[in-house]
């Protein structure tokens, strides 16, 4: 039996077999698939939801904001509150909450109750991915951490390709409530698999809410979160408006837009795997390369957006910018020292901020009359800003190492 190496902060109570590690990764990735499907499927169901709960489509759009707000609030709060608990118990509790939140969403009697339930459903999101990343990284050891995180994140990226279209299609054929029942079932399945396979852990030695809050005193944690918030926001500047860009500027038929959106999701899957593989070889170089890739692909969208074929290829390439995610998640483990849970969880708050910031800035240039393709220029500028922040981060790190030497 081969045992996965353990990290110093893993708090695993016994060595873990390779088979058990893989089953745990699969269970947690399934949880990520449920989370991704829960987060993205609402976008395709807004007209159906609005009609049934008697609100306008723009007002129903606030349900998306409610979930994102839940992610941003839940990540730091739950990470701190759960600091003293064993990680396997935290993950089981979060998956249970995710399942219950989606089952309850399917039964919501009114818009107000649905808004509250979408907010509550978003609370486990960031902490789940943060704690799950720490667990799978413990299995893999220092030389395979990023690839393990990449395998975990496959659930989220595949949700963009398969889960969200499946839930949207089911919701349109049957009811949006059926879609949330499906998502609740996925989360419940992930809970059961996790219960059966995840190794039992001890609470991390010396862990406390106060120690976790210590992450907020570390400049490198804030800089890394800033790289994610700004450098990854460019993808959302384009993605938030890709449907009108493709139909009104590139002349693509509306019926073909879902294929392009699936292409973006497929690009995320590929980028996630490639970025995770290279991050284990050289973490700083991979982050720089991913940001440069975003600068080039987002910038080129300004030129390609007028042609449906070139715009579709650009959309796939832009999706590959997800290669940045496993690298940043891994770097947070390094710079957070003994406050890893909070830092790892905040990574997903940063990505939700990236979503909001990218969509807002993209909307500004469109409203200014600069054209649908101007979102690509905004995205490229955001990636450049992310590069600048990472340059500051590495400069401070090199200065500290020189002083220590």
Render pLDDT for 354-391 as a digit per residue (tens, 0 to 9): 877 888 888 888 888 888 889 999 999 999 999 999 99
Task: Give the pLDDT of residue 292.
Answer: 96
- pLDDT per residue rounded down to tens, the chain (405 residues): 333 333 434 455 556 777 888 898 999 999 999 998 888 777 667 778 888 888 876 677 778 778 888 888 888 888 888 878 888 899 999 999 999 999 999 999 999 999 999 999 999 998 898 889 888 888 877 778 788 888 888 888 888 888 877 887 787 788 889 989 999 999 999 999 999 988 887 766 655 676 777 667 788 889 999 999 999 888 888 887 887 888 888 888 877 877 888 888 899 999 999 998 898 888 899 999 999 999 999 999 989 999 999 999 999 999 999 999 888 888 887 887 767 777 778 888 888 788 778 888 888 888 888 888 899 999 999 999 999 999 999 999 888 888 877
Give the whole-angstrom CA distance, residue 81 versus residue 84.
8
- Kindly report the number of other CB atoms within 10 A of residue 112's CB atom: 11
Q: How many helices (H) and strands (E) does the chain have?
A: 19, 2
- What are the start-end ranges of the E strands in 315-367? none
Task: Give the pLDDT of residue 270.
Answer: 93
Task: Give the pLDDT of residue 7.
Answer: 40
DSSP 232-300: THHHHHHHTTHHHIIIIIS---GGGHHHHHHHHHHHHHHHHHHHHHHHTT-HHHHHHHHHHHHHHHHHH
Homologous superfamily of the 15-207 domain (CATH): MFS general substrate transporter like domains (1.20.1250.20)
Fold identical between 15-207 and 214-405?
A: yes
Domain 214-405 sits in CATH at 1.20.1250.20
- Kindly report the number of other CB atoms within 10 A of residue 9's CB atom: 18
Task: Give the pLDDT of residue 112.
Answer: 92
Give the whole-angstrom CA distance, residue 222 versus residue 211.
16
Domain boundaries, the chain: 15-207, 214-405
Measuring CA to CA, which residue among 71, 75, 129, 337 is closest to residue 221? 337
Residue count of the chain: 405
In which region does residue 365 sit, left (phi positive, over 0), alpha (psi from -120 to 50) or beta (all else)? alpha
Q: For 12, which DSSP code?
A: B
């Amino acid at each position: 039996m081969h045992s996965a190496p353990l990290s110093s902060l893993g708090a695993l109570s016994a060595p873990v077999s390779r088979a058990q590690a893989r089953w745990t990764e699969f269970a947690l990735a399934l949880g990520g698939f449920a989370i991704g499907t829960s987060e993205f499927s609402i976008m395709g169901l807004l007209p159906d939801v609005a009609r049934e709960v008697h609100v306008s489509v723009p007002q129903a759009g606030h349900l998306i904001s409610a979930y994102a707000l839940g992610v941003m609030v839940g990540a730091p709060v739950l990470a701190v509150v759960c600091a003293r608990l064993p990680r396997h118990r935290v993950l089981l509790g979060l998956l249970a909450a995710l399942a219950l939140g989606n089952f309850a969403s399917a039964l919501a009697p009114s818009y107000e109750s649905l808004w509250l339930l979408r907010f509550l459903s978003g609370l486990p999101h960031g902490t789940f991915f943060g704690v799950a990343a720490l667990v799978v990284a413990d299995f893999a050891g220092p030389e395979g951490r990023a690839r393990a995180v990449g395998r975990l994140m496959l659930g989220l990226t595949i949700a963009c390709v398969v889960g969200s279209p499946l839930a949207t299609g089911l919701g349109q054929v049957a009811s949006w409530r059926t879609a949330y029942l499906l998502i609740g079932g996925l989360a419940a399945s992930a809970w059961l698999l996790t219960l059966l396979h995840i190794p039992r852990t001890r609470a991390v030695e010396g862990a406390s809410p106060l120690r976790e809050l210590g992450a907020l005193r570390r400049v490198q944690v804030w800089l890394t979160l800033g790289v994610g918030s700004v450098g990854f926001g460019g993808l959302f500047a384009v993605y938030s408006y890709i449907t009108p860009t493709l139909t009104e500027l590139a002349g693509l038929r509306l019926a073909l837009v879902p294929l392009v959106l699936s292409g973006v999701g497929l690009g995320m899957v590929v980028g996630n795997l490639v970025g995770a593989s290279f991050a284990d070889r050289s973490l700083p170089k991979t982050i720089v390369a991913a940001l440069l890739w975003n600068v080039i692909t987002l910038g080129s969208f300004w030129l390609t957006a007028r042609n449906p074929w070139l715009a579709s290829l650009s959309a796939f390439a832009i999706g590959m910018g997800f290669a940045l995610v496993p690298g940043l998640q891994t770097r947070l483990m390094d710079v957070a020292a003994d406050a890893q849970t909070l830092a790892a969880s905040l990574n997903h708050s940063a990505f939700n901020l990236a979503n909001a910031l990218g969509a807002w800035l993209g909307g500004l240039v469109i409203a200014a009359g600069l054209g649908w393709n101007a979102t690509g220029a905004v995205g490229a500028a955001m990636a450049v800003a992310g590069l600048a922040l990472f340059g500051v981060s590495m400069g401070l790190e090199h200065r500290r190492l020189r002083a220590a030497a």
